[in-house]
Structures are given as structure tokens and as C-alpha cells.
A and B are shown apart, each in its own frame.
Chain A
Amino acid sequence: MFIHSQFEIVENVLLARDTYRLRLHAPDVARSIRPGQFVMLRLPGTSDPLLGRPFALYDVAFDNRQQPAFLDIVYLVVGKLTGALAALRPGDSLIVWGPLGNGFPAIACPHLALVAGGIGQTPFLACIKAVLGKQSYGGLQSKQTVDKVTLCYGVRRAEFLAGVDDFRAAGAEVFVATDDGSAGFHGFVTDLVEQLPRPDRLIGCGPEPMMHRLALLAKEWAIPCHLSLESPMACGAGICFSCVTKVRTESGWDFRRVCVDGPVFDAAALVFED
């Protein structure tokens, strides 16, 4: 069950190089969406691009009556839709359907480490706020279930770092890695993770090689790990079977739809290609 409607843009601000935060006045979606879920976005009045595109929940913002009213999306400009999004202004509208996907599982542990590669950071702000009991989502009671959250955030260059202040303000300890050493740790974010104190749980979101590495690390450390996948999608709603990933089953593996069975999966259940 999801909502399909047109909503007005109230903000569209630059956060970092090619990276924007979009705020939509979408109370129906804002009330029910949970961390780790996503929405599909589409431009009204055009069929180019034709299909919707998936975007993770960044955060829910409240109106002056303290009611959930706004949906925040953070996007990186990579192509057709995201290019068009960057040109939209407050007062323009977007077609939205959601909330979609399973969202993050309930997490209760002393130390949770989040690992983001590039724009894979977007699902983590709401996650941090939820587990630290800072904000309630989807009408659930807010409750702190994690003592400490570390976010390891890797980007190509410093200019792509987006929302670091948001993560810190939410209560996470943030460590940055860049491919060229222009900020923080010089190298892969997964190498940075290995140098930090071992957490009790991991959650990752980013490019496939990063997720694969993280899955192996979690296995080595014998700690639970969940990964949020970014498979290309056509419908977001489970009706097209485009977005599949290999998931282990009793008899081997089967393709599962990332949009309905995910996007968050137990890393141990995923089959990675070498």
C-alpha cells in the first residue's frame, strides 16, 4: 500500500557539488515513511524521462503544528531526471509514489557503524535519528535503541561531501574518507572502517564493490550487517521484476525484487558476483 500523488516542492538547495536537497510538501507520505524506505519520483506533464526513479528517504520534516509534513530527498545529478530536478524551483510539483520498500530492521546494540559510499549516504540521517531516539517516523514511538552511532562516509573528493553537519547534529560520530585524500582518510571507506574500533553491527549503502567488501568484513568480524541496495528500478512497486538481486535460499539462490523484498537485505543472504 503506497500513495501516488503530485506534491509541491518547497525547497531545492545545493548541498555539495552536484548534490541537492529537495523538500516536498507531502504530508501523506511524510506521516507513514520509515528510515530505509524510498519513493519514486517523476516529472509531471512529460514522458521524457518515462519511468520513475527511486530515491531514499533522507528525512521527514515537521510543520509548525509539529505534524510530519515534508519529505526530504538528497540527490546527486547523474542523468536525465536528476538533471531536470536540479532546475526545479519552489512551487513546482513532482509526482511521487511511496513509501516503498522494507526499510531498516529494528536495531538494538551498543555501537552501530554506518558505512556510506557516495550518494549512498542518503538513507542514514533518518536511521541515525531513529536509533538514537531523536525523532519518530511512521507514527512509531521514538526510543533510543543504540548507544553510539559511527558514520564512515566515503566520497571521491571533498567537494562531494554532503550533509555532514546533519549527521553530526543527529548525534553520529562522522569519519570521512576521500579517494584523493582531499578530506579525512585517504583511501576507500571500507579501509577506514577496518581501522576503527569494531562495532556491534554494520549497515552499508553504496557501490557494489564497497558493499561486497563490507559483507566480507562483517563475516570476518562475525557481526550482523545489513546492506541497502541501489539496483535500477522501473516501477518501485514490485510489478515489473526488473530490480532483482540474488538471494540465498534453501536450495541455492533465487532472484528477489529489491523494491519489495529490499532495498535492505541481510548481507549474509546476498550472493555477490566476483
Chain B
Amino acid sequence: MNLSVQLGRLHLKNPILVASGTFGYAREMEGVVDFGTLGGIIPKTITRQPRQGNEPPRTVETASGMLNAIGLDNDGIDYFLANHLPYLKSLPTAIIANVAGKSEDEFLELAGIIGRHEGLAALELNLSCPNVSGGIDFATDPALTYRVVKKARDVCPLPIIAKLTPNVTDIVPIAQAAHDAGADAVSLVNTFIGMAIDWRRRRPVLGNVTGGLSGPAIKPLALRLVWQVARHVDIPVIGIGGIANIDDVMEFLLAGASAVQLGTVNFYDPTASVRISGELPEALDVLGATSVAEIIGSLEWRM
């Protein structure tokens, strides 16, 4: 069984990744998750300066999912490099750094810094965090997406992944812009913007009023976006959204994803990633496949 996948210049030993912001800095899961069974780990988004993040409550459960407005709470890139990177690099799996800039220049600076560090497998650009007040949602605009990806590509020798938002009318031109600017892959999707209200108190539930919806509730939406981008844009896609078991993974691979990221499931089923990666060979076997590569985008349909 060949579980490895190739996404542009990025090679992964298997397609099961854990998503940024849903796996902390990996250390929290030491001894719980056998990191070597994962295709890769994407630590929480790093920003240039430390950010305190949003006021609690930061998350609330909704039907088959949750809303979050963490607000990119992190200690900044200097702290990340000094305190998290050495540990992450020691793990037996690919580490993909995820960064978010407030401006094009900040993205450039972050990409440059990450690019100077050994031991990372790729850089994921979080072009789409919905919870940062005053921040620009770069991935709502093809031209902005193009410029940020291009700049990152120019200063960072690592494979570049553009993480896109689903909160747009048409995601295809944005994925196309990422491709044109030289991205190795796009990852989709980030969370769908939503809201929860406590009517008895006449208040929004979240401190930030709105938040991003994730979990099983968004899977059909994410699956459709992955399918659409995979058909229309010549770029490897990493599928994200509500993936909770091996069936979900297979559905995303067939829809055209070359790899997947597990997010919210890590919160409520902390060993799901290990179990799912273990179940992959058997699922491939059901389709008579001997590699992951041969089933990517192999969905058959008539329209």
C-alpha cells in the first residue's frame, strides 16, 4: 500500500494532517497521539506580534458543530521559534507552519522568517481568519490572494499552501489566483462565519459576537467546495471541514483532495487522527486501490 501523496513540492507520507488551531502546538498531545502515524501537523497560526486574542466565551457548541472566535491568540513568531519550533522539529512527521499577517508586508516578513528555518515541510498562509477585527480577509479577493502568495513564494523556499475561506461567492477564481501566484496547494476550507444568540439575556453568546462554524455540520459544504476547486483549478487541494472518520476522508479524496486536515474532531475525539490513519489502507482496499494517489479525484458521476 502506498499511502504517500505529492502536493506540488510537498511530499507527505500519508494524507492525514491535523489542522491549524485544533492541535495546539502538538506537545499537548504527546503520549496521546502517536505523531509518527500522521502525515503532518500544522500548529496554531503564528502572527508577527503576540496577540491576546478575543474575550471569552470563545467557543460554543451548535448543532453537530461549534462556533469559535479565538482571535489568533498566540505569543508571536519570536516566541514560536524559540519555544515551539525545536520541539516540533523533533517529531517524526512533517511540520507545516501556518502564519497570518495583518498586511501584505507582514505576510512577507513572516514568510521570510519561516523560510530561513530548517526542518519545516511547508508554509501554510492563513489568508482567511474570520475572527480578527480590523484584519483583512485576503482570500476574499483574487488580486490580494495573488499578491500575498507571490510575495511569500519569492521570499520562502518552502512549499506554499494557501488556506482559503469559504465565505465568498465563488472560491474558484481565488484558488486560481493562488495557483497563478505559484502556490503548491490550496487548503479549503477555513470556518464558515456564523453566530449564536442567548435570547434570554439579549446577548450574542460569543465575546466576539460572530465566530467560525466548524465540525460535522460543515462537511457537505466543504466537500462541495473541494470538488468544485479540484475540477476547475489545476492545483492540489487539501480538504478540510468536519472530517471525523475514515468515510469522511475517503469522500474528500474521491472529491479531489490530495490530503485532508482534521480539525474539530481532535477536540471531541482526541485519538481520531491515529485511528483514521490506521484505517486508511483497509478503506483503499475496499476500492481495490493500492495507493492513495490513484483514488484522488476518482469520483464518477453523470450530469
Residues of B within 8 A of A97 (CB): 270
Contact A241:B53 (CB < 8 A) given known A48-B64, A234-B59 = yes
| Measured CA separation A64–B73 after assembly (Å) | 48
Within 8 A of B (CB), among A46-78: 47-52
Closest to B70 in A: A241
Shortest Cβ distance from A21 into chain B, in angstroms?
Answer: 25
Q: Are A242 and B215 in contact (CB under 8 A)?
A: no
Q: How many residues of B contact A (CB 8 A)?
A: 34
Complexed CA–CA distance, A42 and B65 (Å): 15
Q: Is B234 an interface residue (CB 8 A)?
A: no
Is A223 an interface residue, CB under 8 A from the partner?
no
Given A231-B56, A244-B56, CB of A238 within 8 Å of CB of B24: yes
Q: Which residue of A lies closest to B244 (CB)?
A: A47
A240 on the interface (CB 8 Å rule)? yes
Chain B facing A: main interface SS: loop
Interface string of B77-111 (1 = CB under 8 A from A): 00000000000000000000000000000000000
Tell which of B21, B52, B216, B266 touches A47, judged by Cβ atoms closer than 8 Å.
Answer: B216
A50 touching B68 in the complex, CB below 8 Å, given contacts A242-B59, A255-B53: no
Contact of B58 among A1, A2, A47, A241 (CB under 8 A): A241
Binary CB contact string for chain B from 57 to 79 against chain A (1 if under 8 A, 0 otherwise) = 11111011110101001000000
B16-47 interface with A by 8 A CB criterion: 21-24, 28-32, 44
- Out of B28, B56, B264, B268, which one reaches A245, CB within 8 Å? B56
The CA-CA distance from A239 to B31 in the complex, in Å, is 14
- Rounded to whole Å, the gap between the CB of B204 and the closest CB of chain A is 15
A4-B32, A238-B24 given; A244·B58 CB < 8 A: yes
CA distance A1 to B58 in the complex (A): 25
> Looking at the complex, which one of B32, B65, B70, B266 makes contact with A1 (CB distance below 8 Å)?
B32
List chain A residues, Cβ under 8 A from B52. Answer: 254-255
With a cutoff of 8 Å between Cβ atoms, the chain B residues found around residue A235 in the complex are 266-268, 270
**Does A260 interact with chain B (Cβ within 8 Å)?**
yes
Chain A residues with Cβ below 8 Å from B215 are 50
Chain A residues within 8 Å of B29, by CB: 237, 239
Whether a CB of chain B sits under 8 angstroms from the CB of A232 is yes
Q: With A and B bound together, what is the CA distance between A232 and B267 in angstroms?
A: 13
Contacts of B49 in A (CB 8 A): none
Q: Which residues from chain A contact B298 at a C-beta distance below 8 Å?
A: none
- B66 and A234 form a contact (CB under 8 A): yes
Q: How many A-B residue pairs have CB under 8 A?
A: 93
Contact yes or no, A1 B30, CB < 8 A: yes
Given contacts A50-B64, A231-B56, A239-B24, contact A4 B270 (CB under 8 A): yes
Question: Which chain B residues lie closer than 8 Å to A237 at the CB level?
Answer: 24, 28-29, 32, 267, 270
Chain B residues contacting A245 (CB-CB under 8 Å) are 56
Contacts of A244 in B (CB 8 A): 53, 56, 58, 73
- CB within 8 Å for A238 and B64 given contacts A50-B216, A244-B58: no
Across the interface, name the chain B residue whose C-beta is closest to A256. Answer: B73
Query: Interface centre among B28, B30, B60, B64, by most A CB within 10 Å?
Result: B28
**Complexed CA–CA distance, A239 and B73 (Å):** 12
| Distance of B35 from chain A, by nearest CB (Å) | 13
B271: Cβ under 8 A from any A Cβ: yes
Instruction: Report yes or no: B268 in contact with A42, Cβ–Cβ below 8 A.
Output: yes
Q: Least Cβ distance of A109 to chain B in Å? A: 33
Within the complex, the shortest CB–CB distance from A132 to chain B, in Å, comes to 32
**Partner pick for B68 among A2, A42, A242, CB 8 A cutoff:** A242
- Given that A4-B32, A50-B61 are contacting pairs, would A239 and B70 also be in contact in the complex, using a CB cutoff of 8 Å? no
How many angstroms between the C-alpha atoms of A4 and B61 in the bound complex? 21
A240 to B29, CA, bound (A): 12
Query: Whole-angstrom distance between the alpha carbons of A232 and B23 in the complex?
Result: 18
Chain A hits for B244, CB < 8 A: 47
Beyond the given A50-B66, A237-B270, A239-B23, please list 17 additional residue pairs across the A-B interface where CB-CB is below 8 A: A1-B30, A4-B32, A42-B268, A50-B64, A51-B267, A232-B56, A234-B59, A234-B66, A238-B24, A239-B22, A240-B68, A240-B70, A241-B44, A241-B58, A241-B73, A245-B56, A255-B53
Footprint of B on A, CB under 8 Å? Answer: 1-2, 4, 42, 47-52, 97, 231-232, 234-235, 237-245, 254-255, 260
Interface residues of B (CB under 8 A from A): 21-24, 28-32, 44, 52-53, 56-61, 63-66, 68, 70, 73, 215-216, 244, 264, 266-268, 270-271
Of the A-B pairs whose beta carbons lie under 8 Å apart in the complex, a sample of 16, sorted by A's number, is A4-B271, A42-B268, A51-B66, A97-B270, A232-B60, A234-B268, A235-B266, A237-B24, A237-B29, A239-B22, A239-B28, A241-B58, A242-B59, A244-B53, A244-B56, A254-B52
8 closest residue pairs by CB, A with B: A1-B31, A239-B24, A238-B28, A235-B267, A242-B59, A242-B58, A234-B59, A241-B70
